[in-house]
């Protein structure tokens, strides 16, 4: 069975175009009574049939799974890959997963399944080297130094300027290189050719909030610009008690970041381009919500 995502990308884009006219803007917080009801999603009929038939075999490792294999990052046998939407993202995403995070409970897998060309998942302590690219990479994580999405471009451009100044101060650099750096140092950052974001990659941490400290304090992440999503509220069914409802699941954080990035940085009207990142999440949310209402414990166990 081919797992090449290129074949199905056109179909996913066609599905998105069908709901452009009816899509409502997602730039404000989604209604709490049904936060996922206005999403522009591909048909979830394939998930409904899979849920009714039960667990199926992973075509790579042979394990019995529900909907997808969280080890191999592929749909299972009774969920044909051509029925799964593929999402095109405006930048690359790295997810750093805590080693104690239960794979079967991680929503980070959804991003890898639905945007495989754009998403990479690393298990801590494996972290890519970002030091030389800190002017084009940002980390989504709340904290006292965190900025809002709309300020990303400004702060990354400041880093570029600071890097240029630092290189210009290097006495070992040949004079002609110092002169070139001086020319860049005094460039007009309001000029249209310098406008926009230099952001090329965004990093997310996938772990429980109590486990994040070990990863966020790693020196390899210390130099990255931190971004916080302050206005979004989670609807995750495993939300941790005692934590604010602005603490999102990983797939929610990815989705909401991209929506805000699209409107605040790319300055384009959002028409549901990234809604299918919540393809699995929204289905599970509704399934668990219905199971709770009916007292159906078996459904909850099945999807877990």
More confident residue, 49 or 233: 49
8 Å CB contact between 35 and 239: no
Indicate whether 178 belongs to any domain.
no
Same domain, 89 and 224: yes
- From its phi and psi, is residue 263 left (phi > 0), alpha (psi between -120 and 50) or beta? alpha
> The tokens of 131 are what?
């030091």
Q: Are residues 94 and 125 in the same domain?
A: yes
Answer whether residue 98 shows pLDDT above 90: yes
The Cα 23–Cα 40 span in angstroms is: 7
- Domain termination residue (choose one: 79, 103, 132): 79
Together in a domain, 108 and 251:
yes
Domain final residue pick, 79, 102, 127: 79
The token pair at 134 is: 């800190």
Residue 280 exposed, middle or buried by CB count within 10 Å (0-12, 13-18, 19+): buried
Is residue 15 a part of any domain in this protein? no
Cα–Cα distance list, 283 to 14, 116, 273 (Å) = 21, 20, 18
Q: 100 exposed, middle or buried (CB, 10 Å; 0-12, 13-18, 19+)?
A: exposed
Residues 157 and 46 in one domain: no
At 264-295, the pLDDT tens digits run 999 999 999 999 999 999 999 888 888 777 76
Note whether 73 and 58 are same-domain residues. Answer: yes
pLDDT in tens, 142-192: 888 999 999 999 999 998 888 776 655 555 544 444 444 444 444 444 444
Tens of pLDDT along 133-155? 999 999 999 888 999 999 999 99
Do 139 and 233 lie in one domain? The reply is yes
Residues 64 and 89 in one domain: no
> Is residue 6 in a domain?
no
What percent of the chain clears pLDDT 70, i.e. is strictly above it?
A: 69
Domain identity same for 149 and 259? yes
Order the strands of the 92-97 sheet from edge to edge: 119-123, 92-97, 201-206, 137-140, 225-227
Check whether residue 62 and residue 105 sit in a common domain. no
- Asked whether residue 112 falls in the same domain as residue 51, the answer is no
Q: Domain for residue 17, yes or no?
A: no
| Residue 169 belongs to a domain | no
Same domain, yes or no: 132 and 225: yes
Residue 205, domain member (yes or no):
yes
Closest CA to 214 of 301, 127, 280: 127
106 or 244, greater pLDDT: 106
Q: According to the model, what pLDDT value does residue 213 have?
A: 86
DSSP annotation string for 32-74: TTSTTTT------HHHHHHHHH--EE-TTT--EESSEETTTTE
pTM (predicted TM-score): 0.78
Give the tokens for residue 71: 């080890």
Sign of dihedral through CA atoms 154, 160, 164, 166?
A: positive
Q: What is the DSSP letter of 147?
A: B
Count up the domains in the chain and report the number: 2
Residue 21 domain-assigned?
Answer: no
**Domain boundary pick from 24, 50, 79:** 79
Distance CA 138, CA 176 (A): 32
Q: Read off the pLDDT of residues 194-203 as tens digits, 9 standing for 90 and up.
A: 445 589 999 9
Contact at 8 Å (CB) between 45 and 282? no
Tell me: do 210 and 70 sit in the same domain.
Answer: no
Q: Is 264 domain-assigned?
A: yes
Domain that holds residue 137: 85-162+196-294
The helix (H) or strand (E) run that includes residue 226 is strand 225-227
Helix (H, G, I), strand (E, B) or coil at 146: coil
Residue 26: what pLDDT? Answer: 42
Are 55 and 22 a contacting pair, CB within 8 Å? no
């Amino acid at each position: 069975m081919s797992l090449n995502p290129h074949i199905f990308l056109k179909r996913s884009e066609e599905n998105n175009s069908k709901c452009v006219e009816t899509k409502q803007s997602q730039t404000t917080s989604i209604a709490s009574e049904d936060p996922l009801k206005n999403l522009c999603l591909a048909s979830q009929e394939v998930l409904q049939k899979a849920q009714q038939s039960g667990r199926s075999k992973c075509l790579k490792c042979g394990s019995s799974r529900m909907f997808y294999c969280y080890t191999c990052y592929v749909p299972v046998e009774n969920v044909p890959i051509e029925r799964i939407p593929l999402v095109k993202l405006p930048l690359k995403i790295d997810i750093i997963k805590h080693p104690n995070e239960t794979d079967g409970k991680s929503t980070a897998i959804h991003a890898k399944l639905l945007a495989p060309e754009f998403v990479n998942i690393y298990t801590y302590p494996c972290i890519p080297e970002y030091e030389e690219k800190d002017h084009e990479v940002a980390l989504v994580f709340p904290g006292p130094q965190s900025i809002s999405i709309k300020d990303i471009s400004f702060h990354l451009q400041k880093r570029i300027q600071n890097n240029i100044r630092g290189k210009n101060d290097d006495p070992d650099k040949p004079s002609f290189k110092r002169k070139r750096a001086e020319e860049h140092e005094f460039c007009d950052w309001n000029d249209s050719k310098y406008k926009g974001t230099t952001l090329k990659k965004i990093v997310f941490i996938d772990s429980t909030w109590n486990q994040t400290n070990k990863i966020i304090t790693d020196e390899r992440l210390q130099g990255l610009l931190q971004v916080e999503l302050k206005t979004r509220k989670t609807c995750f069914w495993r939300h941790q008690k005692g934590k604010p409802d602005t603490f999102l699941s990983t797939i929610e954080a990815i989705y909401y970041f991209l929506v805000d990035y699209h409107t605040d940085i790319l300055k384009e009207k959002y028409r549901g381009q990234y809604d299918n990142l919540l393809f699995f999440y929204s289905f599970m949310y509704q399934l668990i919500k219905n199971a709770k209402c009916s007292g159906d414990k078996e459904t909850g166990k099945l999807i877990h």
